[in-house]
A and B are shown apart, each in its own frame.
Chain A
Amino acid sequence: MFPRPIAKASPAARIGYQAFLPVALFLWLLPLLAIFMTSIRTSKDINSGNVFGWPSEFKLLENYTAVFTQSDAAQYLWNSVLITVPTVLISVTLACLAGYALAIYKTRWALPMFFMFVAGNFIPFQILMVPVRDMSVQTGLYDTIAGQYLFHAAFQTGFCTLFMRNFIKALPFDLIESARIEGVAEWRIFWYVVLPLVRPAVAALAVLIFTFVWNDFFWANVLTQGEQVKPITAGVRALNGQFVNNWHLVSAASLLAAVPPVAMFFLMQRHFIAGLTLGAVK
C-alpha cells in the first residue's frame, strides 16, 4: 500500500487524518453546497447578500415547485429521457456486435477498423457540425428527438465499440475455439457464449453513455431550435435567461438537471468507474 496505511501511523496522525477528511470534502464541494443553499433561499436573502449565513426562511419545496410551474422544465427533462434512452439501447447493441467482430476474428483489417472507431471517438465535434446539421435539415431530422438520438447513438458507438472490443478480447479465447470445434454457428456463439459474459461491460457502458448524452449541450444547440425538443441542459440555459438574477430558481433548476446522472452514478458506482477507466486500468 502506498501511501503507508494510516492505521499503522501514530494515533495523533490517525485522528488528525480522520478529522481533516470532512474538512477537505467540505472545501472540495463548496461550490455545490453554496448553490444548494442558494436554491433553498428566498430572493430577498440573495439580494441582501446572505450567501453563507443561515437562510432566513427555508423555501426548498416552494423554489423547486416554482421551477416546474414557471417554466418548461418538466418538458425538458422528459425530452432528455427520450433522447438518452434510445441512444443507450442503439449504441450498446451495435457495439456488442461490432466489438465481437473486431475482437474474435483475426483478419488483417480488424485492427485498422478498430482504430477508426477509436479515432472517431476523439475528434472535435466541430468537424462534424456543419455536415450533420445540413444532413439533418435535408432529411427532416432537424429539430426532432429522433435526429438527436440517432446522431448520439452513431457517435457513441465509437466509444462503445472501443470498450466492448477490449472487453471481449480479454475473455478466454478457448471458449470460442471449443464452441467452433463443436460446430456451433457463429451467431450462436455470439448469443450463447459471449453475450452472457459481457453483461458487466454492457452495464458499464449503459451508465456511462447515459451520463455523457444526458450532459450533452453542444448537439442540443446544433440540432434543435424549438423548446419542444430541447433536452434539459439546453433548457437550463434558456431558464437562465428567463430567470435573470433569480439565482434561487436558476440554482434549483441546475441542480434538478444534475439529479438523474448523479442518481445513476450512486446506484451503479462500480460499473460507472469500470467504464471510465476504459477497461484499461484493471
Chain B
Amino acid sequence: MATTDANAPTKASWIQKNKLSIAPWFFLIPALCFFAVYVVIPIFESLYLSLFEWNGLYRADGTSTAEFVGFENYQKLWTDPKFWVSLKNNVLWLFLFMLAVPVGLFIALFLNQTVPGMRFYKSMFFFPFVISQVVVGLIFGWFYNPDFGVVGSIYKALYCEEVTNLLGNLTTRCDGSPPDILSSAEYATYGIIAAGLWPQIAYCMILYLTGLNNVAVDQIEAARLDGAKGWKMLWYVVVPQLKPATFIAVVVTVIGALRSFDMIAIMTQGGPFGSTNVLSYYMFETAISEYGERYGYGSAIATVLFAIMLVFISYFLYRMYQDEKGGR
C-alpha cells in the first residue's frame, strides 16, 4: 500500500511495505527462542543421544565422553524385561485411566442441578485436582497402609475381634493379615491407578460441568416432547453436544496417563520388584540412578515414550487442524 502512496518517505517505505510481515516476528521471537532452547532443541538432542552410551561426564578439555553405539541401546531395550513390564503398565494406565472420562461425566450429571449450595458442592468435588500429585500419592499411600491406614482399619473392623488370652490380657485376633496393596506385585499398579483416577475424574467432571452449561435447552425440550428420556436422551442428544468437552477430557486423560510419574515415585518407586514401573519412571531411574548415570539408555527409553505420545499428539493436532479449517 505504501508503494502507491506518493507522499510516503522513501526511507520508511520498505518497513512500511512489509510492516505486516515483519511485526509478528518481534512479538514472536522472545517466546520462540526460549521455547526452542528448552523444548524443541532438547527433543532432537535426546533422539541423537539415544544412539550413544554416556555417563554424563566430560573430559578435562571439555569434550563429552559419549561413545557412539548406533542402535545398541534399542537392541538392549528389546531384551530388557524391565522395559516390557513398564510398557505393559503404561498400556494398563492408559486403559484404566480412560475410566475417568465416563465417571467424570456421571458425577457432572449428578451435580448438574440448581439446589442451594450447589456451587460449594461443585468446587468441593473438584478439590482433588488442585492438590499436588505428590500429596495425593502420600494420602493414598497412607490410606492403603495395612497397619496405620484406612484399609488396615477397615480390615480390622471386619475380620478381627478382641479376645482375652490365657494370661487374661486383651489381644486382637484376626483371620489372616490385612491386604498390603502397595507391596503386592499383583495389585500395586491398580492401587496407584485408582489413586491417580481420583484427581483425574475431578478434572473430567469440571470439563463436563462447563459443557453441560452450554447444552442447547431447546434441543433437550424438543427431544423430550418426542418422548426421549434417560439413557436415550443422554446418548443421542446430550453426549453429541458435549463433544468438545469429551475431546479435551480424552486429551488430558491420555497425556495424564502417559505422564504418570509423581505417584509412582511417591508410592512405590517402581517396586515391588519393578512391578509398578512405567516408562516415565523407568527412564528417570535409569538416567539418574545411584549406580551412575546412563544418559544414552535413558534417552532411548524416553524416545520410545515420545514415539507413543507422538501418535496421540498427531491425532490431536489433526483434529485441531480440522477445526481451524472448518471454524473460520
A-to-B contact residues, CB < 8 Å: 1-3, 5-7, 14, 17-18, 21, 24-25, 28-32, 34-35, 38, 46-47, 49, 51-52, 94-95, 97-98, 100-102, 104-105, 107, 110-111, 113, 115-120, 122-135, 150-151, 153-155, 157-158, 161, 186-187, 190, 211, 214-215, 217-218, 221-222, 233, 236-237, 240, 245, 247, 250-251, 254-255, 257-258, 261-262, 264-266, 269, 273, 276-278, 280-282
Contacts and interface: CB of A to CB of B under 8 A. Distances in A.
Given A2-B238, A115-B321, A123-B306, A97 B125 contact: no
B214 to A, nearest CB: 7
Name the prevailing secondary structure of the A interface residues.
Answer: helix
Given A2-B215, A24-B110, A118-B320, 17 more contacts: A25-B124, A51-B149, A107-B21, A122-B251, A123-B39, A125-B280, A126-B302, A127-B43, A129-B284, A155-B39, A157-B34, A187-B23, A217-B266, A250-B142, A258-B131, A273-B206, A278-B248
20 contacts: A3-B113, A7-B114, A32-B131, A34-B142, A34-B143, A51-B150, A97-B31, A105-B21, A123-B39, A123-B306, A124-B306, A124-B309, A126-B280, A129-B298, A130-B56, A130-B298, A236-B135, A247-B148, A254-B134, A258-B135
Contacts of B214: 281-282
Contacts of B303: 127
A187 B142 CA distance: 54
B283 A240 contact: no
A118 B31 CA distance: 13
Given A101-B24, A251-B142, A262-B130, A119 B19 contact: no
Contacts of A128: 38-39, 42-43, 46
Q: List the 8 closest pairs (A to B, CB-CB), nearest first.
A: A154-B38, A215-B132, A98-B31, A131-B42, A101-B27, A131-B45, A126-B302, A94-B31
A94 B34 contact: yes
Interface of B: 19-21, 23-28, 30-32, 34-35, 37-43, 45-46, 49, 56, 109-110, 112-115, 121, 123-128, 130-135, 138-140, 142-143, 145, 148-150, 152-153, 156, 198, 203, 206-207, 210-212, 214-215, 217, 220, 233-234, 237-238, 244-245, 247-248, 251, 255, 258-259, 261-262, 265-266, 279-280, 283-284, 287-288, 295, 298-299, 301-303, 305-306, 309, 312-313, 316-317, 320-321, 324
